[in-house]
Amino acid sequence: GDSVTQMEGPVTLSEEAFLTINCTYTATGYPSLFWYVQYPGEGLQLLLKATKADDKGSNKGFEATYRKETTSFHLEKGSVQVSDSAVYFCALRAPDFYGGSQGNLIFGKGTKLSVKP
Amino acid sequence: DVKVTQSSRYLVKRTGEKVFLECVQDMDHENMFWYRQDPGLGLRLIYFSYDVKMKEKGDIPEGYSVSREKKERFSLILESASTNQTSMYLCASSLRGVNTEAFFGQGTRLTVV
């Protein structure tokens, strides 16, 4: 079945360091890919998305490129801030059809990021 | 803005109780989801609904049921709560379609004692 694998955490960085969180996926067809962020005590928020191969999603200085050849969607940020401390989830959504379960969002296990001043 | 509202942020229930977790969305979304979030396990899908009165089991439906009588409301029911159901429960909704993102509620932290 479809699945998402992301790097294990926790990840601890100093402020202004470069961030990469790896994400690879397995899916049939052409899924859309997402990064969600969860700040302490809150629900998940969409950070960025890409809906087809070679698309780059970006938001708040974060970027990720949909690489079909390597089935990857790695999250990057050039200079992290303390306020970026959160849990980051990679997710995919497979093509759906009415009456089927393929409209589900499938998540990786999450990567906890801590940024120190 | 899309809003997904879960009825409680924190809930404490006793073993064997019947527990209802309510979720309401205000954007006329077809799809609604219930996930469970546990440390080290990420988000696991309990049930998914793609239309009123329609539901599909997710990865871990045992011990749970759901109800969707109206499009905007999706309820998760723990028929007889057990301590291993202590967890964070997240509701989400989305439009139908592979390109659409899901919007999440704030979560309900349920403790079963």
pLDDT in tens, A86-97: 999 999 987 765
User: Which residues 59-88 in chain B show a CB within 8 A of chain A?
Assistant: none
Q: Does B3 touch chain A (CB under 8 A)?
A: no
Rg (CA), chain B: 13
CA distance B101 to A36: 10
Span A53-80, average pLDDT: 96
CA distance A98 to A79: 42
How many C-beta neighbours within 10 Å does residue B8 have?
A: 15
Predicted local confidence at residue A2, as pLDDT: 83
The more confident residue out of B59 and B36 is B36
Alpha-carbon torsion (B38, B44, B46, B47), positive or negative? positive
CA distance B47 to B70: 16
Q: Are A62 and A100 in contact (CB under 8 A)?
A: no
Q: What is the bridge-based pairing of β-strands A86-93 and A32-38?
A: antiparallel
- With a pLDDT cut of 90, the percent of chain B lying above it is 81
Give the residues across from A114 on adjacent strands. A12
- pLDDT over 60 at A24, yes or no: yes
Q: Which range scores top for mean pLDDT: A91-95, B88-92, B98-102?
A: B88-92
Span B27-52, average pLDDT: 92
Distance from CA of B81 to the nearest CA of A (A): 23
Q: Does B17 touch chain A (CB under 8 A)?
A: no
Q: Does B106 touch chain A (CB under 8 A)?
A: yes
Rg (CA), chain A: 14
Q: Does A50 touch chain B (CB under 8 A)?
A: no
